[in-house]
Amino acid sequence: SNEFNCAAVDLGASSGRVVLGRVGSDLLELTELHRFGNSPSRDESGWRWDIGTIHHEVLAGLRRAAEHGPSSIGVDSWAVDYGLLDRNGVLLAEPRHHRDPRNAEMIERVRERVDDAELYRVTGLQQLPINTLYQLVVSLGEGELDSAETMLLIPDLLTYWLTGEIGAEVTNASTTQLFDVRGEDWAYDLARRLGLPTHVFPPLRAPGDFAGTPRAEISTRTGLSRSVRVTSVASHDTASAVVAVPATDRRFAYISCGTWSLVGLELDSPVLTERSRAANVTNERGIDGTTRYLRNTMGLWLLQECLRCWRERGLRADLDELLEGAARQPAFRSVLDTDDPAFIAPQDMPTTIGAACAEAGEPVPETPEATVRCVLESLALAHRRTVRSVAELADREVDVVHLVGGGSRNELLCSLTADACDLPVIAGPTEATALGNVLIQARAHGMAGDRSELRALVAATQPLRRFEPGDSAGAWDAVDRRVRDRAGTATRA
């Protein structure tokens, strides 16, 4: 029949899933086969991922997928983290976690050798302590890199375990800050100047490329046929999510809202101006040679960490109840600049938020509901500022904001974002990343066409919700000014 069947493995920082995707001319359907929690653990060497458990859960999901006879499999995950393999292909250590606070200390060390302007000219990347570049520099000090033969980003590592094939998919490679944005290859020269080994960088592959077939052992363990094609997708989860943005023309901004909110535009080429660097906007790779011109804003991480802390303190902390409570809180009481790197690491977030409010001269939220209100208004403000900033820096008009990912379920956040941006927000699909993963597999197998066709299929098949901006534009202008003025006077840690 004219229907394509595949399995998408989609690993997020707080949960992973294996879904079955079905694609036809008017068909785009996901069935979740397996979902599991994901959280980092911490030992004396810092924060790391329990990749053995993740791998085990992926295989459990693929065992279910095998029953449906998929013709293809694709893997995506969060960016920047990696596993190091020795010369026998054995993983040397659990992958480091990008939120490890030590990464931030490396920014100065790198700056001593390569200044910020040059780093941006070569890589086009926003300066975030989570970037692979800084993580590798931490490892240099600890000798972990010495015996490494290969560095594989998380989806490439899972793909390697499935197929035995080594490669670096380019949308994800572009997030490392070790990718030459204009040369479209690893930034070998930059890496050498920082004392990093360059032989660990695998050959690049593009979304849609063939990545191998299941190894005999994998086939035995999962029941997958050895003729299933493992397909390179846009293996950076954000790149997959952007594929599935149901935009109908070019004048859109997107917010891929999960643990992070990735706010930006799809462009034909990178923007490498000094103003763009100063605004810390990143140029990551999208499909078909596009640029994902975006910024990381703090995202639901702030909320996730609050919930974790409240539950540890024995509070019920039910998200739906808290959101209802937050909707009834007075507007604009405490609004923060979420760009503060103090929020990145795992921590007692309600306390950090309270301290940040105190420091900025905003009332300290006294209840969980007030804290949630503060988080959501602060995120909406970050969404507004970033949409405006990328549009201006790229000289593009924006008529609509597409908010995709888990955050699209959060109605309060969607409507605050519409108000703050003073633009309509189209919310959904929630599973944009898995859909993008499936769509690239389908396209590699001749099922779908160019980007606008892929997006039209998403728009025609997935439930979406539209939020119109209210009449609070003036109030948001005032809040924006208030937070900006206070940022100037507050002293930063």
Catalytic residues: 237
Q: Nearest distance from residue 172's CB to ligand LFR, in Å? A: 8
55 Cβ neighbours under 8 A, 6+ residues apart = 158, 161
**404 binds ligand LFR per the rule CB under 6 A:** no
Q: Nearest distance from residue 104's CB to ligand LFR, in Å? A: 14
Q: Nearest distance from residue 236's CB to ligand LFR, in Å? A: 6
Nearer to ligand LFR, 296 or 437 (CB): 296
**78 binds ligand LFR per the rule CB under 6 A:** yes
Rounded Cα distance between 298 and 202, Å, is 30
Rounded Cα distance between 493 and 486, Å, is 15
φ, ψ (nearest 5 deg) of residue 192: -60, -40
Tell me which residues in 296-325 interact with ligand LFR (CB under 6 A): 296
Tell me which residues in 163-222 interact with ligand LFR (CB under 6 A): none
Q: Nearest distance from residue 295's CB to ligand LFR, in Å? A: 10
Listed in sequence order, the DSSP H helices in 394-472 are: 411-421, 432-444, 451-461
Q: Quick check: bond before 429 cis, omega within 30?
A: yes
HEC assignment per residue over 232-290: CCCCEHHHHHHHCCCCCCCCEEEEEECCCEEEEEEECCCCCCHHHHHCCCEEEECHHHC
Tell me which residues in 233-272 interact with ligand LFR (CB under 6 A): 236-238, 258-260, 262
Rounded Cα distance between 438 and 303, Å, is 29
**11 binds ligand LFR per the rule CB under 6 A:** no
Q: Nearest distance from residue 126's CB to ligand LFR, in Å? A: 9
**17 binds ligand LFR per the rule CB under 6 A:** no
Does residue 315 contact residue 368 with C-beta atoms inside 8 Å? yes
**130 binds ligand LFR per the rule CB under 6 A:** yes
**98 binds ligand LFR per the rule CB under 6 A:** yes
Does residue 34 contact residue 61 with C-beta atoms inside 8 Å? yes
**79 binds ligand LFR per the rule CB under 6 A:** yes
**345 binds ligand LFR per the rule CB under 6 A:** no
**Residue keyed to tokens 């960016």:** 79
235 Cβ neighbours under 8 A, 6+ residues apart = 74, 75, 76, 77, 153, 155, 156, 159, 169, 171, 172, 207
Nearer to ligand LFR, 200 or 263 (CB): 263
Nearer to ligand LFR, 95 or 212 (CB): 95
Tell me which residues in 278-297 interact with ligand LFR (CB under 6 A): 296
**80 binds ligand LFR per the rule CB under 6 A:** yes
Nearer to ligand LFR, 238 or 437 (CB): 238
Rounded Cα distance between 76 and 392, Å, is 31
Q: Nearest distance from residue 433's CB to ligand LFR, in Å? A: 8
Nearer to ligand LFR, 260 or 343 (CB): 260
- For the chain, how big is the Rg over CA atoms in Å? 22
Residues at the contact surface with ligand LFR, assessed by CB under 6 A: 12-13, 78-80, 98, 130, 236-238, 258-260, 262, 296
